[in-house]
């Protein structure tokens, strides 16, 4: 998984039809965030747009690589997206059988703890899609070697891909009001880890319990990085990301800079500070 200068985008496949769902009107003049910004009035439209693009990207990756490497975040914002993907017939083309499901970050609690991201993602997706069990990759967060062992699994699975393509295809991120993303919290030690794909994180700025998280190195090497940010509690931080000159230690999401891949933000009106 070596960063290189080559492009990781894949060209749209003309044989793959777009998903036909109603989508609302985009918000004019969304915040000037780095990368692409998709912003809609209604949170429903944000979720539909994101779900449609996710399914098409998944189909393109399966066509091109034979599988789709998807990493999902926890938190409350993306749960309705996961539900929509499972329930809405519009998304039944999602190639779950060819998908590997990864977890972006995890609290260091057992799987049956309500704070476990995997618990919720498994209940919504793992248990109700036809994704094969051996393609679902929880972080065994309570193990001492949780980070090393997850990194090893990532390398083993992605190692089947051709060199240069051995990367995650789609990483769904959230953002906290403090600007954290994944479990990369302001001024925390995980921000400086540049030689690992996964690491532990703790310290005064890390909202307890301690965490295991994908690093910038892994996330930034991905083909598609997608922060989904909704609600007025996030508006001030979105404004700072778009206009301020803070660095990534103050605002960790500013350290998300794809190497050859694409960054696409999905926002609702409230997160844009409008409405």
Q: Does 74 bind ligand 6PG (CB under 6 A)?
A: yes
Q: How far apart are CA 188 and CA 191, in angstroms?
A: 6
- # residues contacting ligand 6PG (CB under 6 A): 14
DSSP 123: I
Kindly tell me which residue out of 24, 34, 35, 75 binds ligand 6PG, with binding defined by CB under 6 A: 75
- Which listed range, 9-17, 72-80, 81-89, 264-272, lies at the site for ligand 6PG (CB under 6 A)? 72-80
The C-alpha atoms of residue 206 and residue 192 are separated, in whole angstroms, by: 15
Confirm if 26 and 267 have CB atoms less than 8 A apart.
no
For position 269 contacting ligand 6PG by CB under 6 A, the verdict is no
Which member of 126, 174, 252, 258 binds ligand 6PG (CB under 6 A)? Answer: 174
φ, ψ of residue 227 in degrees (nearest 5)? -80, 125
Q: Minimal distance in Å, beta carbon 13 to ligand 6PG?
A: 30
- Which residue, 30 or 176, has its beta carbon nearer to ligand 6PG? 176
Using CB under 6 A, which of the segments 29-37, 59-67, 75-83, 267-275 binds ligand 6PG?
75-83
The residue whose Cβ lies closest to ligand 6PG is: 174
| Of 171, 182, 193, 221, the one binding ligand 6PG by CB under 6 A | 182
- Counting contacts by CB under 6 A, is residue 268 touching ligand 6PG? no
**Closest by Cα among 168, 219, 174 to 196:** 219
Q: Which residues contact 67 (CB under 8 A, 6 or more apart)?
A: 61, 98, 99, 100
Q: How far is the CB of 43 from ligand 6PG (least distance, A)?
A: 12
CA dihedral sign, ordered 121, 127, 128, 134: positive
- Per CB under 6 A, the list member of 53, 181, 220, 222 interacting with ligand 6PG is 181
Binding of ligand 6PG by 176 (CB under 6 A): yes
Q: Is residue 104 a contact point for ligand 6PG (CB under 6 A)? A: yes
**Alpha carbons within 13 A on the beta-carbon side of 180:** 25
Instruction: Please tell me the number of Cα atoms within 13 Å of 168 on its side-chain side.
Output: 31
Tell me how far apart the alpha carbons of residues 1 and 218 are, in angstroms, rounded to a whole number.
8
- Interface residues toward ligand 6PG, by CB under 6 A: 73-77, 104-105, 117, 174-176, 180-182
């Amino acid at each position: 998984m070596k960063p290189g200068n080559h492009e990781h985008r894949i060209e749209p496949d003309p044989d793959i039809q777009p998903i036909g769902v109603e989508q609302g009107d985009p918000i004019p003049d969304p915040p000037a965030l780095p990368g692409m910004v998709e912003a809609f009035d209604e949170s429903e439209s944000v979720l539909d747009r994101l779900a449609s693009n996710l399914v098409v990207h998944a189909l393109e990756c399966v066509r091109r690589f034979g599988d789709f490497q998807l990493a999902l975040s926890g938190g409350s914002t993306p749960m309705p997206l996961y539900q929509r993907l499972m329930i809405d017939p519009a998304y039944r083309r999602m190639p779950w059988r060819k998908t590997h499901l990864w977890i972006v970050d995890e609290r260091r609690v057992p799987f049956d703890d309500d704070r476990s991201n995997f618990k919720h993602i498994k209940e919504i997706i793992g248990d109700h899609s036809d994704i094969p069990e051996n393609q679902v990759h929880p972080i065994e967060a309570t193990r001492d070697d949780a980070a090393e062992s997850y990194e090893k699994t990532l390398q083993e699975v992605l190692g089947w891909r051709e060199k240069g393509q051995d990367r995650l295809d789609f990483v769904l991120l959230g953002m906290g009001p403090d600007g954290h993303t994944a479990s990369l919290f302001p001024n925390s030690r995980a921000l400086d880890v540049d030689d690992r794909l996964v690491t532990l994180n703790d310290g005064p700025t890390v909202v307890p319990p301690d965490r295991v998280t994908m690093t910038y190195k892994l996330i930034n090497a991905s083909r598609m990085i997608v922060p989904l940010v909704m609600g007025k509690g996030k508006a001030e931080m979105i404004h700072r990301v778009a206009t301020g000159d803070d660095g990534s230690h103050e605002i960790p999401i500013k350290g998300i800079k794809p190497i050859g891949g694409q960054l696409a933000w999905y926002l609702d009106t409230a997160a844009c500070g409008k409405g």
